[in-house]
Copies of this chain bind each other. A is one copy, B any other.
Amino acid sequence: MSKCDQCIVRQFNSLKHLSKEDLMRMSNCKTSKIIKKGEPIFEEGDYLNGVYCIKDGVCKISKMSENGKNQIINIIKRGDLIGERSLISEEVSNLNAIALEDMEVCFIPRDEIVRDLEKNPAFTMDILKTMASSLKNSDNLIVDMAQKSVKQRLAETLLKLQTKFGVNEIGAIDIQLSREDIANIIGTATESAIRLLSEFKKNKSIGFKGKNIIIINKNDLEKIANGF
């Protein structure tokens, strides 16, 4: 069993505020899991009863609309914590978390962490800060979804993805998403996403190399994203 107090990943999320003793205790009750690409960490309707600390890999957080279409709300990476809301209210999850690549995650049971919420103000404050920041992000996303065109949203999404995941050896956005995933992030039909990507490529704003997307002209995309 690996030791939480020696885990680097912890430094990136609220767990960094826990004491050495708390972490030791956590090491004893946490469970590590390997999640294969395409498999869920959890799904809509599941009782989470704890949080997941992402040790490695990337997953998409999504939700089905009443129309039967899938919407990706967020993409989560190494170091992030998911399922915090299960600590606060005991409802079932309204979201899916599906691995976009092979992942290594640690599950920490609710009861173990709730104690810290009650006793460790620095930890609680950090959770609050994370939530406040998510809320701000969500507000922005609502406005974008409601007011921006699909083309604007695609340009913005490409820029955001590059900011969040950086570029790989060949200068491409360092995350593998299918065209369908991209469509589900911007909230459009897969065909529309493909068409616009082709258009961006034709205009030399982006380029493809295998599955990779390379942003060639960032300025172009910024202009499009802001409505010019």
Contact = CB atoms under 8 A, between A and B. Distances in A.
Interface of A: 63-69, 71, 73, 84-85, 88-89, 94-95, 117-118, 121, 124-125, 127-129, 131-136, 138-148, 152, 186-187, 225-227
A88 B125 contact: yes
Contact of A187 (B124, B141, B145): B145
A198 B225 CA distance: 33
8 contacts: A65-B147, A66-B227, A67-B147, A71-B146, A71-B147, A95-B139, A121-B124, A135-B138
Contact of A142 (B73, B121, B226): B73
Nearest to A64: B143
A45 to B, nearest CB: 14
A88 B68 CA distance: 37
Contacts of A84: 132
A133 B89 contact: yes
Contacts of A144: 65
A148 B67 contact: yes
